[in-house]
C-alpha cells in the first residue's frame, strides 16, 4: 500500500455464515472480528466498543460481499449481475478476473482476481484503482505466509504465471 | 330596436368589455390561503402563519421514481436531483447521494470545531496512537477502500463523525448510490422555495419536476409519484375547480332553460344577464383600485354572494305589466329593490371592519357589485327591454298556486314551535358544533394519504405537525440553547417518544463550543511531537500525515464559523431554514420525525430549563380558525343589527320589519339546526353560505310583505320569487351533490336556506285577505 512503508499482513479466518452473512476473523496482528450481516458491518476488536456501520454507507463493500457470497455459494448468475467475468485456464490452474460493472465502483476497485487449481481457490487478489493491491491467500498457502512477504513472490505463489 | 336603444346597448357592452379587458390585464390573483386568515397577533400565531406555509416541513415534496431497473432509476434520481438543484424554485434537493463535497473544501479544517471529539478527548499521543492503530487495522479490513483516501488528511476520521451526525437516524436504503424504498422506487426529497399552501407556486414547482424528469434520457418511461403538503394543495385546488366547473356548466344550462320557460324571451334572458355581469366587473374594478392583489377565495366567495344580484333583473322581468313600459315597472319596484340593495350593502359593511384582509376584500367586492347590479337594473336595463311584455301574472297555474298559498293557515304562533325545534336540534345534535380542522373540508383520497405516510416513513421525512421551537436573543444563543437540548432529545429517541430530530446545533455548534474546542487543539510543535510518538512502531509512511498537521494548525487560528458563513456552503440552506430572525428575536426551528409521545417531549423540554417548546401546528391552526370564526361571527352579529335598523327605518314600522326579519332569522337558524342534526360540524364556508341565503331570504320576505292589495301584482311577486327560488335551488342544489366538502357545504346550506326562507316568509307574511280588509 502506498500509505505504508511495508506490506500489511493479516491472518485469520474468513467464514461464510450462509445467506448474506460473512464473518472475518483476524488473529494477527490484532484480534478482530468483522461481521457483515443484515446490512450492517460490525467490527469488534479486543478492548474496544464494537463499531458498527451500515452497508448503506459503503455500497462498494456491499458489492464485494456479493462477489464473495456468490463465489463461495457458487452462484454464477449473481456474480454475473455485478461483474464482468473472465476465466483464463492453463492446464490444471485457472484464474477468474472480475471487473465491476458499476462505473463508480471501478473507480475504487479496478478488478478482483481469483486464482486456483483444480476445484480449490488459492488466492483472491484485489487491484484497487489507485494501484494498491491486496491478496487474500486461502487454504494451505496461508499457513506458509512469510512474515515480510514480497509482492512478486506472493503473486508467483498464487499462480501469477497466468 | 330604436337607434337610441341600440346605442345604449353598445355603450354598455363596450363599458363591460373595457372593464373586462382591464381586469384581465391588471388583476393580480393571490392564491396564498394565509391572506384569508386574520392578521396574527401573538408571536406564536405569527410563527404559525409563517410555518403553515413556509415551514421546512410544509415545503417538502416527496418524490418516488419507478420504471426500469435499479441502475436506470438511480440515473433518473441523480439526473433529476442535478437538474432541480440548479432550479431556483427549489432550495434543497436530496437523494441519498451523500458525498464529502457537501462539506465545502474551505470548511474542511473546521471539522475539529464541528465534531464533538475534542469535548472529551485531547489530540495527544495516546489518542493518536490508538486511532492510528485502528486505521492500520482498518486498512486490513473490509472498510479499507472506504477510508484510505481520507487517511493522510484526517487520520481520526472527523469527517465521518460529522457525516454520521448529519445523517438522519432513519435514512432509506442506498442502492446504486441513491435512496431506494423497500418497494424498489428511487426516492428524493425536494424543498421548494414557495410556500406549501400556495397552489400557484407549488403547481409551478411540480411542473418543473415533471419537465426535468421527462427531459432526462428515457425520462418519459419513468413513473413519478409525488407527495407532500404542496402536492396536496395543488391536487385539492384542481379537483375543486374541476368539479365546480362541471357543476357550473350543468346549472348554467338549467338556469337558461328555467329563464326561457319563465319569460319565453331570449332577449330578456340575454339582457337579464347584463346587471350581474356589470356587478361582477364593477366589483373586480373596485378591488383592483383598492388592493394591490386580490385573493382567489375573495373572488370565489364574492361571485357566490353576488348570486343575490340575479334577483334584481328577475324582479323587474316578473313585475312587468301588459301595456306598461319597463321604465314604469321599475319605478314602481324601485323603493323596495333599493331597500333590499341598501340593507344588504350595509350588512356587508360589517365585513369590511372585521380586520381580516380577505373579508375586507369580500365586502368591497360584494358592496360595489350589488350597487352596480342594482343601479344598472334601475337605470340601464329598463331602457333596453322591449316596450311590450307578456304579463307573467297570466302564467297558467300561477293563480291557482297563489290561491292555494293564500289558503294555507298562517298561525301567529308559528315562530314558537320553530324556535323550540331549532333549540332542540341544536341541543341534541351529534358531534362537535364547529369544524375547526380546515383539512377536513378538503379531504384527500385515502390512497394519497397512504402513499404519503409510506414515503414519509421510508424517507424519515419530518412530521408536518410538530416543530420544536427555541427562542433566544441572537442566532448564537439559539445554537447554544439547541446544544443543551441535544442530550434530552437523544434520550427521547431512546425512549421511542419520537424517531428522530434535527437540531440546528447538530449542524453548527455555538461560538463558545467552537472556541472551547479550538483551545484544545495542540500547536504544531506539540502535535508533531505527539504524532511522532504515536507513530512509533507503526508502518505508516513518513510525512504521510503532513496534511493533517497543517489542517490542525489552520483550525487553531480560524475565526469560529458563524451561521452566515456556514450558510454559504452546500449544506447551509439546511441551517438557514432552521434559524429564523424575527423582530429582535431569533428562533430555532427543529423538525421532528415520527412523534409518538408529544407529552413526554414537552416534559423533557421543560426539564432542560431552556426556552424551548413543542409547537403543535394542528392545535395552533385550529385555534387560529376558531379566532377567525369569532371575528366572522362578530361581523355577522353587527351586520344583523345594522340590518334590523335599516329595515325598520325603511319600512317605518316595527310590525312590518318583524314580518320581514322574523322569517329570515328563523329560517337561518332552522338551516343551522337541520345541518347540526345531520351531524355536520359548522365551518367558515357554512357561515358564508348562511349569509348568502339570508340575503336571498330578505328579498323574499320583503316582497311577500309588500302590501299592494292587487291580486295580479301578488301573482307577479309570487312568479318572481318562484323563479328566484328555483334558480337558487338549481344552482346550489347541484353544488350540494358535490363530492368536495367545501362545495357541498355551500350548496347544501344555500339550498336548504332558500327553501326555508321561502316557506317561512310565505307562512309568516301578513294574510292577503286580512290586508284587503280596510
Task: Search chain A and give the residue with CA nearest B175.
Answer: A59
Could you tell me where the DSSP H helices lie in B215-273?
Answer: 229-263, 266-272
Closest to B365 in 3D by CA, of B432, B447, B306: B306
Look at residue B770 and tell me whether its pLDDT is greater than 60: no
The DSSP line for B708-741 is ---HHHHHHHHHHHHHHHHHHHHHHHHHHT-SSH
The whole-number pLDDT of residue B377 equals 92
Q: Kindly state the DSSP code that residue A4 receives in the 8-state scheme.
A: B
Class of the CATH-defined domain A11-158? mainly beta
In tens, the pLDDT along B674-695 reads 988 888 888 877 887 888 788 8
| CA B545 remoteness from chain centre | 57
3-state secondary structure of B438: helix
The whole-number pLDDT of residue B584 equals 80
Residues of A with Cβ-Cβ distance to B134 under 8 angstroms: 45, 48
Q: Kindly state the DSSP code that residue B462 receives in the 8-state scheme.
A: P
Q: Find out whether B424 and B672 touch, Cβ atoms under 8 Å.
A: no
Residues of A with Cβ-Cβ distance to B133 under 8 angstroms: 30
The whole-number pLDDT of residue B727 equals 85
> What's the whole-number average pLDDT of chain B?
83
How many other C-beta atoms lie within 10 A of the C-beta of residue B677? 16
Q: Find out whether B588 and B574 touch, Cβ atoms under 8 Å.
A: no
In tens, the pLDDT along B200-250 reads 888 999 999 999 999 988 888 889 999 888 888 888 778 777 877 888 788
CA-CA-CA-CA torsion for B271, B273, B276, B280, nearest 10 degrees? -110
Name the band, by pLDDT with cuts 50, 70 and 90, for residue B55: low
Contacts of B309 (CB under 8 A, 6+ apart): B275, B276, B279, B369, B370, B373, B374
Residues of A with Cβ-Cβ distance to B539 under 8 angstroms: 4-6, 8
Look at residue B252 and tell me whether its pLDDT is greater than 90: no
The whole-number pLDDT of residue A143 equals 65
Look at residue B168 and tell me whether its pLDDT is greater than 70: no
Whole-number percent of chain A with pLDDT over 90: 0
Q: B137–A45: do the CB atoms touch at under 8 Å?
A: yes
- Give the helix/strand (H/E) hosting B45: helix B43-54
Lowest-confidence pick of A110-114, B575-579, B735-739, B764-768:
B764-768
3-state secondary structure of B252: helix
Task: Search chain A and give the residue with CA nearest B155.
Answer: A3
Look at residue B104 and tell me whether its pLDDT is greater than 70: no
| b/e sequence A32-48, b meaning 16+ C-beta within 10 Å | bbbbbeeeebebebeee
The pair phi, psi for residue B217, each rounded to 5°, is -55, 130
- Copy the grid coordinates of residue B762: 310565505
User: Looking at the partner chain, which of B137, B143, B540 has a beta carbon nearest the beta carbon of A58?
Assistant: B143
Integer Rg of chain B from CA: 35
Name the band, by pLDDT with cuts 50, 70 and 90, for residue B771: very low
A83-90 and A51-54 as β-strands: parallel, antiparallel, unpaired? unpaired
Task: Search chain A and give the residue with CA nearest B131.
Answer: A48
Could you tell me where the DSSP H helices lie in B380-397?
Answer: 381-384
Name the band, by pLDDT with cuts 50, 70 and 90, for residue B172: confident
Closest to B501 in 3D by CA, of B484, B487, B489, B483: B489
Closest to B611 in 3D by CA, of B743, B480, B751, B753: B480
- Residue matched to cell numbers 407527495: B227
Residues of B with Cβ-Cβ distance to A39 under 8 angstroms: 173
In tens, the pLDDT along B545-599 reads 888 888 888 888 889 888 888 877 766 767 877 888 877 888 888 888 888 888 9
Q: In angstroms, rounded to a whole number, what is the distance separating the alpha carbons of residues A15 and A35?
A: 10
Residues of A with Cβ-Cβ distance to B141 under 8 angstroms: 24, 26, 32, 34, 43
Q: In angstroms, rounded to a whole number, what is the distance separating the alpha carbons of residues B450 and B183?
A: 14
Look at residue B47 and tell me whether its pLDDT is greater than 60: yes
Best residue in B141, B171, B177, B548 for a mutation probing chain A (most A CBs within 10 Å): B141
Could you tell me where the DSSP H helices lie in B587-683?
Answer: 598-608, 617-651, 654-677
Look at residue B713 and tell me whether its pLDDT is greater than 50: yes
Q: In angstroms, rounded to a whole number, what is the distance separating the alpha carbons of residues B719 and B699?
A: 13
Lowest-confidence pick of A57-71, A90-104, B132-146:
A57-71
The pair phi, psi for residue B40, each rounded to 5°, is -70, 145
Residues facing B90 on adjacent strands: B192
Look at residue B757 and tell me whether its pLDDT is greater than 60: yes
Residues of A with Cβ-Cβ distance to B152 under 8 angstroms: 3
For residues B418-425, give the mean pLDDT. Answer: 87
Interface ipTM > 0.85: no
Any idea what the Cα angle at residue B729 is, between residues B727 and B733, rounded to 5°? 130
Q: How many CB pairs under 8 A join A and B?
A: 73
Best residue in A27, A56, A102 for a mutation probing chain B (most B CBs within 10 Å): A56
Residues of A with Cβ-Cβ distance to B174 under 8 angstroms: 56-57, 59
- Give the helix/strand (H/E) hosting B214: helix B199-214
For residues A136-148, give the mean pLDDT. Answer: 67
Q: Find out whether B503 and B482 touch, Cβ atoms under 8 Å.
A: yes
| CA B283 remoteness from chain centre | 24
Q: Find out whether B284 and B294 touch, Cβ atoms under 8 Å.
A: yes
3-state secondary structure of A25: strand
Q: Find out whether B190 and B60 touch, Cβ atoms under 8 Å.
A: yes
The whole-number pLDDT of residue A149 equals 67
Residues of B with Cβ-Cβ distance to A43 under 8 angstroms: 141, 143
CA distance B135 to chain A (A): 11
The DSSP line for B315-366 is HHHHT--TT--HHHHHHHHHHHHHHHHHHHHHHHHHHHTT--HHHHHHHHHH
Residues of A with Cβ-Cβ distance to B541 under 8 angstroms: 2-5
CA distance B450 to chain A (A): 26
User: Looking at the partner chain, which of B134, B143, B173 has a beta carbon nearest the beta carbon of A56?
Assistant: B173
3-state secondary structure of A117: strand
What are the E-state strand segments in B228-299?
A: 294-295
Residues of A with Cβ-Cβ distance to B544 under 8 angstroms: 3
User: Looking at the partner chain, which of A30, A32, A61 has a beta carbon nearest the beta carbon of B146?
Assistant: A61
Q: Find out whether B318 and B305 touch, Cβ atoms under 8 Å.
A: no
In tens, the pLDDT along B486-536 reads 899 989 988 888 888 888 888 889 999 999 998 888 888 888 888 888 888
Q: Kindly state the DSSP code that residue B474 receives in the 8-state scheme.
A: S
The DSSP line for A102-151 is -HHHHTTEEEEEEEEETTEEEEEEEEETTS-EEEEE-THHHHT--SS--H
Whole-number percent of chain B with pLDDT over 90: 12
Closest to B161 in 3D by CA, of B126, B112, B127, B107: B112
Look at residue A45 and tell me whether its pLDDT is greater than 80: no
The whole-number pLDDT of residue B102 equals 54
Higher pLDDT among residues B563 and A16, named by residue? B563
Q: In angstroms, rounded to a whole number, what is the distance separating the alpha carbons of residues B636 and B570?
A: 52
For residues B29-51, give the mean pLDDT. Answer: 65
User: Looking at the partner chain, which of A4, A30, A108 has a beta carbon nearest the beta carbon of B540?
Assistant: A4
Look at residue A162 and tell me whether its pLDDT is greater than 60: no
> What are the C-alpha distances in Å from B621 to residues B75, B438, B462?
41, 8, 18
Q: Kindly state the DSSP code that residue B443 receives in the 8-state scheme.
A: P
Q: A6–B539: do the CB atoms touch at under 8 Å?
A: yes
Q: Omega before A142 cis (within 30°)? A: no
Look at residue B772 and tell me whether its pLDDT is greater than 50: no
Q: What is the 3-state secondary structure (H, E, C) of B750-766?
A: HHHHHHHHHHHHHHCCC
In tens, the pLDDT along B288-320 reads 999 888 877 778 778 877 877 888 898 888 888
Q: B148–A56: do the CB atoms touch at under 8 Å?
A: no
Task: Search chain B and give the residue with CA nearest A108.
Answer: B145
The whole-number pLDDT of residue B756 equals 93
Q: B541–A61: do the CB atoms touch at under 8 Å?
A: no
The answer to whether the predicted template modeling score (pTM) of the entire model surpasses 0.90 is no
For residues A97-103, give the mean pLDDT. Answer: 81
| CA A158 remoteness from chain centre | 14
- Give the helix/strand (H/E) hosting B21: helix B3-26
- Give the helix/strand (H/E) hosting B392: none
Q: Residues of chain B whose C-beta is under 8 A from some C-beta in A?
A: 133-134, 136-137, 139-146, 148, 151-152, 171, 173-177, 539-542, 544
Greatest mean pLDDT among A6-10, A108-112, B397-401 lies in B397-401
Q: In angstroms, rounded to a whole number, what is the distance separating the alpha carbons of residues B701 and B711?
A: 17
> What are the C-alpha distances in Å from B10 to residues A35, B13, B272, B285?
88, 5, 15, 20
Q: In angstroms, rounded to a whole number, what is the distance separating the alpha carbons of residues B666 and B423?
A: 11
Q: Find out whether B175 and A59 touch, Cβ atoms under 8 Å.
A: yes
User: Looking at the partner chain, which of B139, B143, B174 has a beta carbon nearest the beta carbon of A8?
Assistant: B139
User: Looking at the partner chain, which of B145, B175, B542 has a beta carbon nearest the beta carbon of A128?
Assistant: B145
3-state secondary structure of A111: strand
Amino acid at each position: 500500500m502506498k500509505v505504508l512503508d511495508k506490506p500489511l499482513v493479516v491472518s485469520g479466518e474468513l467464514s461464510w455464515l450462509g445467506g448474506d452473512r460473512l464473518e472475518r476473523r483476524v488473529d494477527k496482528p490484532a484480534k478482530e472480528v468483522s461481521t457483515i450481516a443484515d446490512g450492517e458491518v460490525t467490527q469488534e476488536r479486543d478492548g474496544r466498543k464494537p463499531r458498527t456501520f451500515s452497508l448503506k454507507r459503503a455500497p462498494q463493500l456491499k458489492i464485494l460481499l456479493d462477489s464473495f457470497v456468490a463465489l463461495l455459494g457458487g452462484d454464477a448468475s449473481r456474480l454475473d449481475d455485478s461483474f464482468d467475468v473472465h476465466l483464463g485456464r492453463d492446464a490444471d490452474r485457472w484464474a477468474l478476473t472480475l471487473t465491476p460493472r458499476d462505473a463508480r465502483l471501478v473507480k475504487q476497485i479496478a478488478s478482483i482476481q481469483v486464482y486456483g487449481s483444480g476445484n480449490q481457490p488459492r488466492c483472491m487478489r484485489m487491484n484497487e484503482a489507485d494501484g494498491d493491491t491486496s491478496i487474500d491467500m486461502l487454504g494451505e498457502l496461508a499457513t506458509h505466509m512469510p512474515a515480510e512477504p514480497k509482492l512478486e513472490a506472493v503473486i508467483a505463489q498464487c499462480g501469477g504465471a497466468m | 330596436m330604436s337607434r337610441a336603444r341600440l346605442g345604449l346597448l353598445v355603450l354598455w357592452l363596450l363599458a363591460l368589455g373595457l372593464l373586462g379587458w382591464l381586469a384581465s390585464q391588471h388583476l393580480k390573483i393571490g392564491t396564498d390561503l394565509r391572506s384569508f386568515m386574520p392578521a396574527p397577533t401573538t408571536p406564536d400565531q405569527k410563527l404559525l402563519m409563517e410555518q403553515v406555509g413556509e415551514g421546512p416541513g410544509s415545503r417538502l415534496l416527496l418524490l418516488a421514481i419507478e420504471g426500469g431497473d435499479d441502475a436506470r432509476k438511480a440515473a433518473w434520481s441523480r439526473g433529476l436531483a442535478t437538474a432541480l438543484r440548479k432550479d431556483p424554485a427549489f432550495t434543497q434537493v436530496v437523494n441519498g447521494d451523500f458525498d464529502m463535497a457537501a462539506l465545502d473544501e474551505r470548511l474542511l479544517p473546521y471539522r475539529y470545531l464541528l465534531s464533538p471529539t475534542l469535548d472529551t478527548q485531547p489530540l495527544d499521543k495516546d489518542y493518536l496512537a490508538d486511532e492510528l492503530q485502528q486505521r492500520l487495522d482498518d486498512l486490513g479490513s473490509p472498510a479499507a477502500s472506504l477510508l484510505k483516501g481520507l487517511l493522510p488528511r484526517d487520520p481520526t476520521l472527523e469527517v465521518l463523525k460529522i457525516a454520521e451526525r448529519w445523517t438522519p437516524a432513519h435514512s432509506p436504503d442506498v442502492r446504486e448510490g441513491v435512496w431506494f424504498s423497500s418497494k424498489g422506487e428511487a426516492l428524493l426529497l425536494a424543498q421548494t422555495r414557495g410556500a406549501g399552501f400556495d397552489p400557484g407556486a407549488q403547481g409551478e414547482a411540480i411542473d418543473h419536476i415533471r419537465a426535468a424528469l421527462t427531459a432526462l434520457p428515457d425520462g418519459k418511461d419513468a413513473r413519478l409519484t409525488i407527495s407532500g403538503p404542496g402536492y396536496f394543495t395543488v391536487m385539492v385546488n384542481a379537483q375543486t375547480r374541476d368539479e365546480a366547473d362541471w357543476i357550473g356548466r350543468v346549472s348554467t344550462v338549467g338556469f337558461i332553460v328555467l329563464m326561457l320557460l319563465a319569460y319565453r324571451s331570449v332577449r330578456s334572458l340575454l339582457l337579464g344577464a347584463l346587471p350581474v355581469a356589470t356587478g361582477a366587473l364593477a366589483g373586480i374594478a373596485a378591488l383592483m383600485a383598492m388592493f394591490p392583489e386580490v385573493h382567489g377565495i375573495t373572488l370565489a366567495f364574492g361571485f357566490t354572494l353576488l348570486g343575490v344580484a340575479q334577483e334584481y333583473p328577475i324582479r323587474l322581468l316578473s313585475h312587468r305589466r301588459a301595456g306598461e313600459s319597463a321604465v314604469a315597472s321599475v319605478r314602481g319596484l324601485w323603493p323596495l329593490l333599493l331597500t333590499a340593495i341598501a340593507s344588504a350593502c350595509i350588512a356587508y359593511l360589517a365585513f369590511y371592519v372585521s380586520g381580516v384582509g380577505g373579508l375586507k376584500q369580500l365586502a368591497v367586492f360584494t358592496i360595489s357589485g350589488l350597487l352596480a347590479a342594482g343601479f344598472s337594473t334601475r337605470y340601464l336595463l329598463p331602457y333596453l327591454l322591449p316596450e311590450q311584455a307578456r304579463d307573467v301574472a297570466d302564467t297558467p297555474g300561477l293563480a291557482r298556486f297563489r290561491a292555494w298559498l293564500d289558503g294555507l293557515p298562517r298561525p301567529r304562533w308559528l315562530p314558537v314551535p320553530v324556535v323550540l325545534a331549532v333549540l332542540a336540534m341544536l341541543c341534541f345534535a351529534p358531534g362537535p358544533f364547529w369544524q375547526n380542522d380546515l383539512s377536513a373540508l378538503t379531504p384527500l383520497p385515502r390512497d394519497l394519504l397512504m402513499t404519503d405516510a409510506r414515503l414519509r416513513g421510508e424517507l424519515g421525512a419530518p412530521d408536518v405537525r410538530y416543530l420544536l421551537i427555541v427562542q433566544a436573543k441572537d442566532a448564537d444563543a439559539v445554537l447554544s440553547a439547541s446544544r443543551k437540548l441535544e442530550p434530552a432529545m437523544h434520550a427521547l429517541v431512546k425512549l421511542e417518544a419520537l424517531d428522530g430530530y434535527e437540531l440546528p446545533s447538530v449542524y453548527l455548534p455555538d461560538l463558545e463550543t467552537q472556541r472551547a474546542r479550538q483551545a484544545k487543539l495542540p500547536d504544531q510543535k506539540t502535535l508533531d511531537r505527539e504524532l511522532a510518538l504515536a507513530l512509533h512502531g507503526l508502518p505508516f509512511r513518513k510525512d504521510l500525515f503532513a496534511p493533517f498537521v497543517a489542517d490542525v494548525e489552520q483550525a487553531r487560528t480560524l475565526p469560529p464559523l458563524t451561521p452566515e458563513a456556514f450558510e454559504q456552503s452546500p449544506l447551509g440552506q439546511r441551517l438557514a431554514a432552521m434559524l429564523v430572525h424575527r423582530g429582535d428575536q431569533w428562533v430555532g426551528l427543529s423538525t421532528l420525525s415520527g412523534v409518538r409521545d408529544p407529552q413526554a417531549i414537552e416534559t423533557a423540554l421543560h426539564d432542560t430549563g431552556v426556552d424551548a417548546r413543542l409547537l403543535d401546528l394542528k392545535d395552533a391552526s385550529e385555534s387560529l380558525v376558531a379566532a377567525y370564526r369569532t371575528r366572522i361571527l362578530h361581523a355577522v352579529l353587527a351586520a344583523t343589527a345594522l340590518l334590523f335598523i335599516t329595515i325598520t327605518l325603511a319600512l317605518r314600522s316595527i310590525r312590518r320589519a318583524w314580518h320581514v326579519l322574523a322569517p329570515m332569522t328563523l329560517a337561518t337558524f332552522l338551516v343551522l339546526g337541520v345541518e347540526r342534526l345531520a351531524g355536520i360540524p359548522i365551518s367558515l364556508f357554512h357561515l358564508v353560505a348562511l349569509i348568502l341565503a339570508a340575503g336571498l331570504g330578505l328579498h323574499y320576505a320583503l316582497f311577500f310583505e309588500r302590501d299592494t292589495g292587487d291580486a295580479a301584482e301578488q301573482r307577479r311577486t309570487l312568479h318572481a320569487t318562484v323563479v328566484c327560488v328555483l334558480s337558487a335551488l338549481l344552482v346550489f342544489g347541484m353544488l350540494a351533490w358535490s363530492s368536495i366538502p367545501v362545495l357541498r357545504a355551500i350548496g347544501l346550506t344555500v339550498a336548504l336556506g332558500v327553501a326555508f326562507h321561502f316557506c317561512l316568509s310565505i307562512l309568516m307574511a301578513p294574510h292577503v285577505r286580512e290586508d284587503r280588509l280596510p
